[in-house]
Amino acid sequence: MVKAVVGANWGDEGKGKITDMLADEADVVIRFQGGANAGHTIVNRYGKFALHTLPSGVFHPHVTNIIGNGVALNIPKVCEELSDIESKGVPAPQLLVSDRCQIVMPYHILQDACEEERLGGHSFGSTKSGIAPFYADKYAKIGFQVSELFADDAYLLEKIGMICARKNALLTHLYHREPLREEEILQTLHEYRDMIKPYVADTGLFLDRAVRENRTILLEGQLGTLKDPDHGIYPMVTSSSTLAAFGAIGAGIPPYEIRQIIVVNKAYSSAVGAGEFVSEIFGDEAQELRDRGGDGGEYGATTGRPRRVGWYDCVASRYGVRMQGATDVALTVLDVLGYLDEIPVCTAYEIDGKQVTEFPVTHLLAKAKPVYTMLPGWKCDIRGIRKYDDLPKACRDYVEFIEKQLGYPVTMVSNGPAREDIIYR
C-alpha cells in the first residue's frame, strides 16, 4: 500500500517526525519533490537530526530509502548528510537515487544568490539553495539527469557548451559576474558521478515491483500546500509541487496506488520566507510562541533563521487539507499551546468588509484580515499522555473544534517531538 505524508500549511508542520514514526512499519520511504532548501527535524534514539534531502526512513535499517526523480538533487549535500548521520552512530542506510533525478549544479546556487541580491527588498526570501533556477532549467530542458553523469565526455561537453552560452550571457550581462568555465563544469560532473554511483538505480522499476508485492511505501513531501506552485500563495511558493498527487510523478508510481494521504497540520501556524500569512502575530506575543514552539523554538532547520509564527488558521488549513486530498489529518505540536489562557483561532478572513471562509487567490489574500474565535486554553503540560481521553477537556475541545472546521478526520495528535509522542484516535 502506498501512503503519502504531506503538509497542509507552509511547511515545518512536523512531517519528518510523522514519517519517521510511520517508517517503522514501512518497507520503502521516498522523497518525491523539493531539494535541500528545507529540512525535516527528527528526534530519535540516535539524537536530533535535520534531514534536508535524505528520506526520513534512513534511521530504520529495514527501510529502502529512495530519492525520487522529482527531487532537486544536490549531490555533495546528500553525501554530507549521509556521513553526518553515520558519524552519529546510525547504521549506513539503504539508499537508492533515481537515475532520472536531476542535479543541482553550483551555477544554480550562484544564480539563486545573484537573483535574490538583484531583487533586493523584493526578493523571495529564498534559502539560496539553487532550487528555483534548478527547476527552471529542468523545465527549460537544459538540466542534467543523474543518468547523464555516466555519458561520455564528448556528449557532456556539447551539452555544457550549450548551457554555458545561455548562463554566461545572464551571468556577465545581468549579474556582472565571471563567466562559467566549461572544463570546471565537466570536472564537477565527474566528481558527482563518483560520489553518487553506489546509489543510482532505476527506482521506477524497483517501485513497480514493491507495489506488486504489496509492500508498504511512504511518499514523503516537503513544505506544504500553501507553497505549491499551482495551488499555493503564488508567487511566494516553492518550485515543485508539494501535493500528494505529485508523489505519483515525483516517485514514478501509478496515481491510483496512493491509498492513504496523511496531511500534517500544525496546531498553530509558522512560515519561513516571504508571502501572505493572514494569522501572523508580531512582537512579544510572537516571540513567546516562537521560543516555545516546535522542539527548541521555531527556527529554520536549514538556515537557523527565525520562523514567522501565528495562530491556527482554519481557512488556510481547510484549503490545505482539501487540496492534498486527506484521508487522515495529523495535528502536531499541540503540546506547545499549553501555556495560553485563551487560544485565538482564525475562523474567517475579512476582505473589503466581507467575511470569507474559503481560501482566496493571492491578490485578495493580501487584503485579508483575520477574524478570530477565542478558545479556552488547558494550562498544563500534555506531553507523555498516550490516550486521547486522558487529554484535558479544553485540549480535546480544541482538537474537535479544528476537526469540525476542517471537515476531515484528525486521526493522530502529536504531543511532543519524539517518535512515541503520538495519540491515535
Residue with smaller CB distance to ligand GDP, 155 or 339: 339
276 touching ligand GDP, by CB under 6 A:
no
Contact pattern from residue 331 through residue 370 relative to ligand GDP, giving x for each residue in contact according to CB under 6 A and a dash for the rest:
-xx-xx----------------------------------
Residue with smaller CB distance to ligand GDP, 324 or 332: 332
Contacts to ligand GDP from residues 279-298, by CB under 6 A: 294-295
Contact pattern from residue 299 through residue 338 relative to ligand GDP, giving x for each residue in contact according to CB under 6 A and a dash for the rest:
--x------------------------------xx-xx--
CB of 163 to ligand GDP, least distance (A): 32
Taking CB under 6 A as the binding criterion, the range among 129-137, 152-160, 398-406, 415-423 that sits at the site for ligand GDP is 415-423
Cell numbers at 363, concatenated: 491578490
Among 69, 102, 324, 415, binds ligand GDP (CB under 6 A): 415
Contact pattern from residue 31 through residue 70 relative to ligand GDP, giving x for each residue in contact according to CB under 6 A and a dash for the rest:
-------xxxx-x---------------------------
Taking CB under 6 A as the binding criterion, the range among 102-110, 198-206, 373-381, 408-416 that sits at the site for ligand GDP is 408-416
Q: Is 20 designated active site?
A: no
Contact pattern from residue 126 through residue 155 relative to ligand GDP, giving x for each residue in contact according to CB under 6 A and a dash for the rest:
------------------------------
Q: Is 40 designated active site?
A: yes
Residue with smaller CB distance to ligand GDP, 103 or 385: 385
Residues within the interface to ligand GDP (CB under 6 A): 7, 11-17, 38-41, 43, 294-295, 301, 332-333, 335-336, 414-417, 421
Catalytic positions are 12, 40
